[in-house]
Amino acid sequence: MTIAEHDVRTEASTPAVATMSMAAALNLALADAIQADPEVVVFGEDVGALGGVFRITDGLTARFGEDRCFDTPLAESGIVGTAVGMAMNGMRPVVELQFDAFALPAFEQVVSHVAKLGNRTRGGVRMPLVIRIPFGGGIGGVEHHCDSSEAYYAHTPGLTVVSPSTPQDAYSLLRAAIASPDPVIFLEPKKLYWAKGEVDTSVTAEIGTARVAREGTDVTLLAYGSSVPLALEVAEVAAAEGRSVQVVDVRSLSPFDDETVTAAVRSTGRAVVIAEAPGYVSVASEIQARVFERCFEYLEAPVRRVTGFDTPYAPPKLEHWYLPDVDRVLDAIDSLHWEDEK
Partner 1 sequence: MQDTDMLPREEAVQLIDQDGAVVADDHYALPDTASLLRAYRGLVEGRRINDQASALVRQGRLAVYPSSHGQEACQIGVALALAETDWLFPTYRDSVAVIARGVSAADALVLLKGDWHSGYDVKTHRVAPQATPLATQLLHAVGFAYAAKQRGEDTVVVALCGDGATSEGDFHEAMNFAAVFHVPVVFFVQNNGFAISVPLSRQTAAPSLAHKAIGYGMPGQRVDGNDVAAVLAVLGEAVERARTGGGPALIEAHTYRMQAHTNADDDTRYRERAEVQAWVARDPLTRLRAHLTASGVLDEALDAEYAAGAETIAQAMRDALNADAELDPEDLFRFVTAARSPQLEEQWQLLRGEIDRTPAETSGGAR
Ligand X SMILES: Cc1ncc(C[n+]2csc(CCOP(=O)(O)OP(=O)(O)O)c2C)c(N)n1
Task: List residues binding ligand X (CB under 6 A).
Answer: 45, 74, 98, 102, 105
Residue 283: left if φ>0, alpha if ψ -120 to 50, beta else—which one?
A: alpha
The yes or no reply on residue 290 touching a second copy (CB under 8 A) is yes
Is 144 part of the annotated catalytic residue set?
A: no
Assess contact for 38 and 90: CB atoms under 8 A. no
| 59 sits near partner 1 (criterion: CB under 8 A) | no
Q: Which is nearer to ligand X, 101 or 195 (CB)?
A: 101
| The only residue of 131, 322, 324, 329 in contact with partner 1, by rule CB under 8 A | 322
- 130-189 binders of partner 1 (CB under 8 A): 140-145, 157-158, 160, 180-182
- Rounded Cα distance between 183 and 174, Å, is 12
Of 304, 329, 330, 333, which lies in the binding site for a second copy, with binding defined by CB under 8 A?
304
330: nearest Cα among 262, 249, 230, 263:
230
Is residue 123 involved in binding a second copy (CB under 8 A)? no
What order of strands is seen across the sheet that includes strand 252-254? 69-71, 40-44, 92-96, 130-135, 184-189, 160-162, 252-254
Give Rg (Cα) of the chain: 20
Closest-CA residue to 252 (of 244, 261, 243): 261
* Residue range at the interface with partner 1 (CB under 8 A); choices 40-48, 166-174, 224-232, 262-270: 40-48
SS3 200: strand
Q: Which one from 6, 144, 145, 155 is the annotated catalytic residue?
A: 145
Site string (156-195) toward a second copy, x via CB under 8 A: xxx-------------------------------------
Binding span for a second copy by CB under 8 A among 33-41, 63-71, 109-117, 321-329: 109-117
Answer for which of 36, 120, 281, 289 binds partner 1 (CB under 8 A) is 120
